[in-house]
Structure 1
Amino acid sequence: MKIKPHSCRIVLFLACSLVFLQDDANSKLPHAGLIAAGATHSAALRSNGSLWSWGFNHFGQLGDGSVFARNAPARVGSENAWLYVAAGGAHSAAIKTDGTLWTWGCNEYGELGSDNNAYLSIPCRIGADTTWTAVSAGCIHTMGLKSDGTLWAWGRNFDGQLGDGSYTDRSLPVKIGPDNSWVAVSAGTHHTAALKSDGTLWVWGGNSAGQLGDGTTSRRNIPVQIFADNRAPGAAGKIVQFASRDPSDKDIPPGISSRTGARVVWSAVAAGGAHTAGIKSDGTLWVWGYNDDGQVGDGSLATRTAPVQIGTDTHWADVTAGCLHTAAIRSDGTLWAWGSNYHGQLGDGTTIDRTSPTKVDSAIRWAAVSAGCMHTIALKSDGTLWTWGRNTYGQIGNGTTVNISTPVQIPGWP
């Protein structure tokens, strides 16, 4: 079903306020792609491979063939062949077990990758490839990984968030650089972060709040490598290389003093509204960017233009970044959240903002978490699905439109 192309811009601005959202797509995590929190909608896979979605649906982002909001999970099609799902500003994307990529929802800037601007309320296959392994839906752009390690991008590109060296929107997937070593990608509001197989971290796109972590506030339209000095917590980040097409182009950009420091290996990354979070292979957690609501988690409200270590814990396993909040899971299965809590999106039973990680509840069985614009969804190790936060459009999925500040279980999972 095609939808008349009313503009998404106003709705997305209202939904995400100053910034929009991200959706995690970290292929290295065992539960990656099973749940996805978008700006004002949610999606999740069941153990039988069926796909379900709920929340705001004006642009068909639920994929159920309608444009009506759902306050409880609605099935997307009848197939049991879904493997990976991502939810963006007003669009969604998913991969089937056969490696095909499907998208639906708002398409004002080509974020569906269908070579036009038609909005769709049911999944549409993108191209003929059967090698897609991961996908991440940003506010108005989309990123995808193929099994050969190549990275692809499409949609809005005014801040260079696609990473193709231009500021031109793309309505079809475009390959990002010559590399075939990408293993994880996360699309934020207007920026993107990704990991290579050697554990290096690369970022590009909008940088008005330092969300790229390169020590500047200059936008980048090609991937730049980020280095966080692991010799001292909170040390300044340094760019070590631009992903230039010219091998001789090794200049250090303005605001960066050197390429010095030991090699750092990153294991996870999440791009949010205007902040970014990453976990190193040593289990330490680092966050940077916009921090007016405490979403960096370093106990302050100061914007950070370079990675800052959060506490001294070395057991962080998974992280997700929303519009104005952040959530992470430790290796012991505990879930922690911080940042804006106006709608209860931190899940701690209050609506008080937190500037440092706060334990969500007493459970020690959390396995995956996804932060939307103002709500959060998570899976426990027993496969049960839990949600909390803003619920204006039914994005919590519990059959109501009442905000909830503590995790509520959604029937049907596992």
Structure 2
Amino acid sequence: MASNTSAIITWGSGEDGQLGIGNNEEKDWAYPIKALDSYSVRSVVAGSRNSLAICDDGKLFTWGWNQRGTLGHPPETKTENIPSQVKALANVKIVQAAIGGWHCLAVDEQGRAYAWGGNEYGQCGEEPERKDDTGRTLRRDIVIPKICAPKLVVRQVAAGGTHSVVLTRDGNVWTWGQPWPPGDIKQISVPVRVQGLESVRLIAVGAFHNLALQEEGTLWAWGNNEYGQLGTGDTQPRSQPIRVNGLSGLTLVDIAAGGWHSTALTDNGEVYGWGRGEHGRLGFGDNDKSSKMVPQRVNLLAGEDIVQVSCGGTHSVALTRDGRIFSFGRGDHGRLGYGRKITNGQPLEVPINIPPPRNLGDAAAEGRWMAKLVACGGRHTLAIVKWKDTDESKQ
């Protein structure tokens, strides 16, 4: 008998509690987040030092680093290693969220966007400084989620190192904060529309660069380009969107942006990567860790029928249609999930060796865990897995 029982698994660095397992240990192998067992989680996001989960009913849970209010409640503790609900958003249904360098964004089913955490560059949509009663200038972090960009009806939020980007329901892209340091870009806390982009259906944001995929399939990029992460064939930064080279003729279905690298996924399950190649995070092989100025196909994943790719700080993970996970890139702190503390540009499968659901009894011997979603962070990874019986997992 098939079961819809699911679990949230994690691995990698846990020094800030970002694994959510009740301690600050690192895990070299997939490990269940037991505190979320009783919830129906639809999405997870891994940030640089913290994590979040969104439930089917719209509840939002956060855990990890909290010194700047990144967990959405007053930072009474520096880190928290058990997921807790963001009470300020308990009365709205959150449908999507993002984590930046030290701030977070979320959007509810009505299209209202919320921001919280570090705000020194206006990335939460508030003026970054305020005066106290004595006239001193104080940094203005947002420790309780507040509505941001109130005039916009938002479909998707994305967060960078020090800036925010949103996609509205009418297909336009808006941004605020500090796009990339250093430079002459003036920090802003008021949303500004990104010119030249219309009919956008998906956005992805790295540390200081941005990607936007239009409905008709054209991919655009702007921001920092130090390692070729814009895919323009050079390393010149762009303040306005420019078309990504080398993808014409392909039907793109998904995009992802890491710290300094980018990926695109085609409708036939092929992955293209570009940008910083150090540590093998692009997946081109053990001996090819060079940066790529234009997208190149990740041949080592050919034939695997990839349905999602997620990019972290120095590693990446790919999800196959039949629920397997491949990871590649920097391997210390267990971030690759297969126990090898090495730098690896060769995509290898992550074993999901966690116990089967308890309520299955003897039937547990006839199934396996299948991953449904993956999320790469700075030095850790999250995934949603579901138990499928043997017959179902072969379909």
TM-score (ref. length: structure 2): 0.80
Matched with 2:11 is: 54
1:100-147 CA-to-partner distances (Å, cap 9, x unmatched) read 111001001000001234221000111123511111111211111111
Q: Which one has the largest radius of gyration?
A: 2
Question: May I ask how many residue pairs the two structures share in their alignment?
Answer: 331
The one-letter amino acid of 1:300's match is D
- Note if contact 1:184-1:194 (Cα within 8 Å) is conserved in structure 2: yes
1:262-303 CA-to-partner distances (Å, cap 9, x unmatched) read xx2111111111111111111011111111211111111111
How many angstroms apart in 2 are the aligned matches of 1:81 and 1:95? 9
Q: CA deviation at 1:351?
A: 0.8
Residues 160/169 of structure 1: CA separation in 2 closer, same or farther (3 Å cut): same
Partner SS for 2:333: coil
Larger helix proportion of the pair: 2
1:143-200 CA-to-partner distances (Å, cap 9, x unmatched) read 1111111100000011111123445211110101324621101111111111011001
Matched with 1:40 is: none
Q: Does 1:136 align with 2:98?
A: yes
Matched with 1:172 is: 144
Residues 313/194 of structure 1: CA separation in 2 closer, same or farther (3 Å cut): farther
1:349-392 CA-to-partner distances (Å, cap 9, x unmatched) read 12111111011122361111111001001211222111110111
Note the 1:234-313 alignment, pairs <5 A.
Answer: 264-311=198-245, 312-313=248-249
Q: CA deviation at 1:224?
A: 0.9
- Note if contact 2:123-2:164 (Cα within 8 Å) is conserved in structure 1: yes
Q: CA deviation at 1:58?
A: 0.8
The one-letter amino acid of 1:332's match is N
Q: Does 1:217 align with 2:176?
A: no
How many angstroms apart in 2 are the aligned matches of 1:80 and 1:221? 35
Matched with 2:289 is: 351
How many angstroms apart in 2 are the aligned matches of 1:129 and 1:369? 32
Matched with 2:43 is: 84
Matched with 1:404 is: 344
How many angstroms apart in 1 are the aligned matches of 2:157 and 2:43? 13
Residues 364/299 of structure 1: CA separation in 2 closer, same or farther (3 Å cut): farther
- Note if contact 2:70-2:104 (Cα within 8 Å) is conserved in structure 1: yes
Q: CA deviation at 1:68?
A: 0.6
Q: Does 1:319 align with 2:255?
A: yes
The one-letter amino acid of 2:162's match is H
Matched with 2:80 is: 120
- Note if contact 1:98-1:130 (Cα within 8 Å) is conserved in structure 2: no
Q: CA deviation at 1:310?
A: 1.1
Matched with 1:338 is: 274
Matched with 1:200 is: 172
- Note if contact 2:27-2:333 (Cα within 8 Å) is conserved in structure 1: yes
- Note if contact 1:319-1:328 (Cα within 8 Å) is conserved in structure 2: yes
Percent sequence identity is: 30
Matched with 1:259 is: none
RMSD: 1.9
Say which is worse superposed, 402-411 or 338-347, in terms of deviation: 402-411
Partner SS for 2:221: strand
Partner SS for 1:227: coil
How many angstroms apart in 1 are the aligned matches of 2:278 and 2:40? 37
Matched with 1:328 is: 264
How many angstroms apart in 1 are the aligned matches of 2:250 and 2:334? 36
Residues 180/273 of structure 1: CA separation in 2 closer, same or farther (3 Å cut): closer
Partner SS for 1:343: helix
Q: Does 1:228 align with 2:196?
A: yes
**Mind listing any 5+ residue stretches in structure 1 that lack a counterpart?**
1-45, 230-263
The one-letter amino acid of 1:339's match is G
Aligned mate of 1:97, from 35, 45, 56: 56
TM-score (ref. length: structure 1): 0.76
How many angstroms apart in 1 are the aligned matches of 2:255 and 2:181? 20
Partner SS for 1:393: helix
Residues 314/222 of structure 1: CA separation in 2 closer, same or farther (3 Å cut): farther
Larger strand proportion of the pair: 2
Matched with 1:250 is: none
Residues 287/48 of structure 1: CA separation in 2 closer, same or farther (3 Å cut): farther
Say which is worse superposed, 101-110 or 78-87, in terms of deviation: 78-87
How many angstroms apart in 1 are the aligned matches of 2:64 and 2:120? 20
Residues 47/267 of structure 1: CA separation in 2 closer, same or farther (3 Å cut): farther
**Mind listing any 5+ residue stretches in structure 2 that lack a counterpart?**
130-139, 353-368, 371-395
Matched with 1:360 is: 298
How many angstroms apart in 2 are the aligned matches of 1:364 and 1:266? 28
Displaced runs of 4+ in structure 1, greater than 4 A? none
The one-letter amino acid of 2:232's match is D
Matched with 2:315 is: 375
Q: Does 1:145 align with 2:107?
A: yes
Matched with 1:11 is: none
Q: Does 1:64 align with 2:21?
A: yes
How many angstroms apart in 1 are the aligned matches of 2:338 and 2:39? 23
Partner SS for 1:228: coil
